[in-house]
Amino acid sequence: MGHVSTGKMQAFPAIRSSELSSLPGAAFFRPRTQLTFPNKLFFCRAKYAESGNAGLHNLIFAPANPLVTEKEEAKAVLTLFLKKQGLSNAVAARTVDKSALFIDHLVSRIHSVHKNRYPGGSRQELTTLEIRDALNPYLETLYEEFGDILVDVVENFPNPATEERSTENLSIPSLEEEPVSAPITTLNSKKLKALARLTDDGLTGKPPPHIIYLTALGMEIEVIEEVTSKFPSFAYYSLDRKIKPVVEVLLDLGIPKSDIPTILSKRPHLCGIRQTEKLLIPTITYLKNLGMDKKQLTKAICRFPALLTCSRQKLESTIDLLYELGLPAEHLGKVLTRGPQILGYSGETLKARAKYFHSIGVDVGSLLYRYPTIFGLNIETHLKPLTEFFLEKGFSTADIASMISGFGSLCTFSLSNNIMPKWEFFLTMCYPKSDLVKVPQYFVYSLELRIKPRYATMRESEVTLSLGRLLYLSDGDLDKVLKQKMNKHVG
């Protein structure tokens, strides 16, 4: 059997949005722009049917039947994964049907991970378990990065639109294989047609009724264009059958009219629900029965509209897991109000974070209650580097656990841009390291606008305040306390 040399082929790791920013041709962007994946990543798009193996470099192609089998296995893995994230059977199947290029990409990943299964040009068929083990960790990582817009990422691959993301300069091993050219477009014809429809419905020469309705509701046309660019189906929704029923449910729930545009722009998929009374209302009722009052529920929906598109199975399994991890049932309503995004995290993600926090001595149940959103942070890029940094500076794991328990937001801060500069200045201050364990909030204050000038003022006064009082007091109260200390000192 003919084959292509794989001498240079490397297995590439799960790809994060923050890593893509360092690659040529990969653009991380603000809203209304496009994320372009690097050409090198998508070598699976070779014109195999046209050219066979001739002229291709460093690619592995299975015989027809195994390749078809691998595609079907990849579809099955993706379908199951989407369902685990809360999508219905119909939506998951529809997404997979629209994602042929992403399926090809998953097959290329299977080949890359299992490249040792092609010795001497022979072909060893992979088992279902091997294929799943190659794909599931990768899909988990993508979900951690893209969250509830993963469906858009998959369907629009390799040019998905996305929300604003951080752009930390992380490196990724280069792929040495010769890239196969893949057309990169900013807006495909489907999006262009959808955008054109916003101003002309094709019949009357006027905008469609639902666009007129949404603008009257307060949704700016620029926002509608942005949503349509990411989710073209939005331009074709029926006003009476899809848009209005959803808006009316939200208004009846008590959500302010002014918040409706924001909710729809965050989660336009809400308007694609065909049976509002059978899907939205039962979900709302279920959350109320868990102890969420009307005010908590409206806040949760405004912060995380995708909450309403999670399946009942997904909601129940996640909430049961939160209880297992130590969250008291009476605190559930407050947790879902503070960080409703936690209902979008996979069970594997929650368990892994809980295991990590437990390993350094953090009370997981208490942390879930106070800082639920940090359970979506990446262990390798956020949690471990923070722990290792403070260990290197002489803090114990008990110290670090105390800092995280007292101020979980510490885990979200950038090491290079926040923690390191403030640590360097802290070394010049007159406080012991133990004060940072007591006051980890030190890292939330501005170094140039608060920490440095206040410390300088205190030193000039020739008195000493605790680190907490130095930072927590208002400007007026700080002046009063310093004067009182100075007078007492002089007296």
Inter-axis angle of helices 294-303 and 244-253, to 10 degrees? 140
CB 10 within 8 A of CB 112: yes
Distance of CA 275 to the CA centre of its chain: 28
CA atoms within 13 A on the CB side of 351: 9
Query: Is 167 a residue whose pLDDT tops 70?
Result: no
DSSP state of 435: H
Whose structure tokens read 């400007």?
A: 475
With CA atoms as reference, report the closest residue to 347 among 307, 314, 383, 373. Answer: 314
pLDDT in tens, 270-308: 887 766 667 788 889 999 998 888 899 999 999 999 888
pTM for the whole thing? 0.61
DSSP state of 269: G
Angle at 162 (CA atoms; ends 156, 165), nearest 5 degrees: 145
pLDDT in tens, 10-29: 333 444 444 333 333 333 33
With CA atoms as reference, report the closest residue to 69 among 117, 122, 110, 15. Answer: 110
DSSP state of 418: I
Which pLDDT belongs to residue 336? 93
Which pLDDT belongs to residue 118? 54
CA distance 31 to 190: 19
CA distance 272 to 267: 10
Confidence at 269, pLDDT banded by 50, 70, 90: confident
488 CB-contact burial (10 Å; exposed 0-12 / middle 13-18 / buried 19+): exposed
Rounded to the nearest 5 percent, the helix, strand and coil shares of the chain are 65, 0, 35
Which pLDDT belongs to residue 122? 52
Rg (CA), the chain: 26
Q: Can you tell me the mean pLDDT for 139-163? A: 66
Confidence at 256, pLDDT banded by 50, 70, 90: very high
Angle at 273 (CA atoms; ends 269, 277), nearest 5 degrees: 135
CA distance 236 to 226: 15
DSSP state of 16: P
pLDDT in tens, 418-471: 999 999 999 999 999 999 999 999 999 999 999 999 999 999 998 899 999 999
For the chain, percent of residues with pLDDT exceeding 70: 75
For the chain, percent of residues with pLDDT exceeding 90: 41
With CA atoms as reference, report the closest residue to 299 among 253, 343, 268. Answer: 253
Query: Is 404 a residue whose pLDDT tops 70?
Result: yes
CA distance 72 to 369: 41
CB 307 within 8 A of CB 301: yes
Confidence at 144, pLDDT banded by 50, 70, 90: low
Which pLDDT belongs to residue 138? 83
pLDDT in tens, 178-224: 333 333 344 467 788 888 989 888 888 889 999 999 999 999 999 99
Which pLDDT belongs to residue 36? 40
The top-scoring range by mean pLDDT among 103-117, 232-246, 437-451 is 437-451
pLDDT in tens, 339-391: 999 998 888 899 999 999 999 999 999 999 999 999 989 899 899 999 999 99
Q: Can you tell me the mean pLDDT for 157-168? A: 43
Which pLDDT belongs to residue 375? 93
Which pLDDT belongs to residue 130? 76
* Beta-carbon count within 10 A of 435 CB: 17
Structure tokens at 11: 């297995």
50 CB-contact burial (10 Å; exposed 0-12 / middle 13-18 / buried 19+): exposed
Confidence at 6, pLDDT banded by 50, 70, 90: very low
Which pLDDT belongs to residue 149? 67
Angle at 16 (CA atoms; ends 14, 20), nearest 5 degrees: 110
Confidence at 416, pLDDT banded by 50, 70, 90: very high
CA distance 155 to 146: 13
Query: Is 1 a residue whose pLDDT tops 70?
Result: no
Instruction: State the DSSP H helix or E strand holding residue 3, giving kind and residue range, or none if neither.
Output: none
Least confident range from 47-61, 85-99, 139-153, 382-396: namely 47-61
CB 268 within 8 A of CB 312: no
CB 471 within 8 A of CB 451: yes
CB 374 within 8 A of CB 412: yes
Residue 473 to residues 365, 441, 449: CA-CA distances in angstroms? 31, 13, 14
The top-scoring range by mean pLDDT among 91-105, 119-133, 139-153, 392-406 is 392-406
Q: Under 8 Å CB-to-CB from 97, ≥6 apart: which residues?
A: none
Which pLDDT belongs to residue 358? 96
With CA atoms as reference, report the closest residue to 410 among 362, 448, 454. Answer: 362
**Helix, coil or strand: residue 208:** coil
Q: Under 8 Å CB-to-CB from 235, ≥6 apart: which residues?
A: 194, 195, 197, 198, 208, 211, 228
Structure tokens at 62: 């299975």
- More confidently predicted of 176 and 214: 214
- More confidently predicted of 182 and 316: 316
- More confidently predicted of 40 and 132: 132
CA distance 213 to 210: 5
Is the peptide bond prior to 158 cis by the omega test (within 30 degrees of 0)? Answer: yes
CA distance 482 to 88: 62
CA distance 393 to 430: 17
